[in-house]
Amino acid sequence: MTRKLFISYSHADADLLGELRVHLRPHERNGVIEPWHDGYLIPGDDFDSEVRKALAESNFIALLVTPRFLASDYCVDVEMEDAVRRHLAGEARVVPIIAKTCGWKETFLKKLLATPKDGIPITKWPDQDEAWDMVAGDIAKAARTPLGQKTGAPESYTRRDPAAPAPRAMPAEPQRTTVAAQVFSIPRNAKPTDQQIDDFRHEAFERIAELFEASVSALTDGMSGRFRRVDANRFTATLYRQGQKLGGCTVFTGTGHFAAHGIAYSGTDSGETNGMNEELSVDLGPAGLGDVPLRISSTRS
């Protein structure tokens, strides 16, 4: 049975989310898990209600734990607290993924078996791909395990009255928003910060990757394709008709000279980033931050 997997993360860790999705892909393809995170939201969605709905419908929850995750009031007071409450009720299983060195042992998560092995942060492993592979394997193993029976809450965990409203403290990180909502979050006459530009670029890249992956998976009538996530900043897509290759592409960001500050497209699925046929640059327009096509063709030797 496929388990719905809710991934809770800080938007400041979008690169880590990308790595996690890459390593989870084989288990997703095999029907073990069905991942969801807020990047699947579309313009016009009510962010908070949709996140809470997805969390309530998921029976398997992964927390991508970093200093920025623990500093986020939304991640901790909404997503993590609801996840822990459902875990204690036997309605869901929570798996903490320790991605960076942080104070996770000062939270309720210290009572749960974390991944990778011994809770050693992924960024501390000599071979981080080995750590990510271990994380993906642990998640798949947990997804195949039946949910446990209801347990009592440990004394150190204080439940909030369900009738009481969630705290509305100011978040310790930039407000968690979708890419589309973030476009309108910067005043028209204000100059965006480097962080706002980078956050927008990475979020836009993730949305583009998800749309490519979904489109390839939906092909029918003799058409088929392959989506391959090379790394957090690069993916390829290939299109076939009756098994015959029609073409492919590589989309990348933040790599080398090309797409260092934008999102580039190359008309080959080689995964190479030494040339591009199109680039979207991040710029401030009348409605806020947006992606502007440069419409150029370049090759670097």
Q: Does residue 170 form part of some domain?
A: no
* Collapsed DSSP state (helix, strand, coil) of residue 149: coil
Q: Does residue 162 form part of some domain?
A: no
Regarding whether 110 and 186 lie in a shared domain, the answer is no
Q: Does residue 114 form part of some domain?
A: yes
Regarding whether 196 and 120 lie in a shared domain, the answer is no
* Backbone angles phi and psi of 133, in degrees to 5: -65, -40
Chunked into runs of 10 residues, the chain (301 residues) has average pLDDT values of 88 90 91 88 83 88 94 91 88 93 92 91 93 94 73 40 41 40 46 77 82 80 86 88 89 69 85 82 58 45 37
Q: Does residue 261 form part of some domain?
A: yes
| Total domains in the fold of the chain | 2
* Backbone angles phi and psi of 234, in degrees to 5: -155, 140
Regarding whether 136 and 190 lie in a shared domain, the answer is no
Q: What is the pLDDT of residue 256?
A: 56
CATH code for the domain in which residue 62 is found: 3.40.50.10140
* Collapsed DSSP state (helix, strand, coil) of residue 228: strand
Cα dihedral angle (43, 63, 27, 116), rounded to 10 degrees?
Answer: 150
Q: Does residue 74 form part of some domain?
A: yes
Q: Does residue 156 form part of some domain?
A: no
Regarding whether 7 and 136 lie in a shared domain, the answer is yes
Q: What is the pLDDT of residues 29-78, one digit of tens each?
A: 888 999 988 888 887 778 888 889 988 888 889 999 999 999 999 999 99
Q: What is the pLDDT of residue 63?
A: 95
Write the single-letter amino acid at 163.
Answer: A
Query: Is the pTM here over 0.75, yes or no?
Result: no
Regarding whether 8 and 128 lie in a shared domain, the answer is yes
Q: Does residue 160 form part of some domain?
A: no
Residue showing tokens 């006459």? 189
Q: Which residues contact 212 (CB under 8 A, 6 or more apart)?
A: 227, 235, 237, 251
Regarding whether 187 and 60 lie in a shared domain, the answer is no
> The domain containing residue 19 runs over which residues?
3-143
Q: Does residue 163 form part of some domain?
A: no
Regarding whether 274 and 210 lie in a shared domain, the answer is yes
Spatial distance between the Cα atoms of 53 and 63, rounded to a whole number of angstroms: 17
Pair 253, 262: CB distance under 8 Å = yes
Residue 267 is classified by DSSP as S
Regarding whether 113 and 21 lie in a shared domain, the answer is yes
Q: What is the pLDDT of residue 70?
A: 94
Spatial distance between the Cα atoms of 43 and 181, rounded to a whole number of angstroms: 7
Domain stop point among 143, 159, 190: 143
Per DSSP, what are the bridge partners of residue 228?
236
Regarding whether 281 and 192 lie in a shared domain, the answer is yes
Q: What is the pLDDT of residues 147-175, one digit of tens each?
A: 764 433 333 344 444 444 444 343 444 44
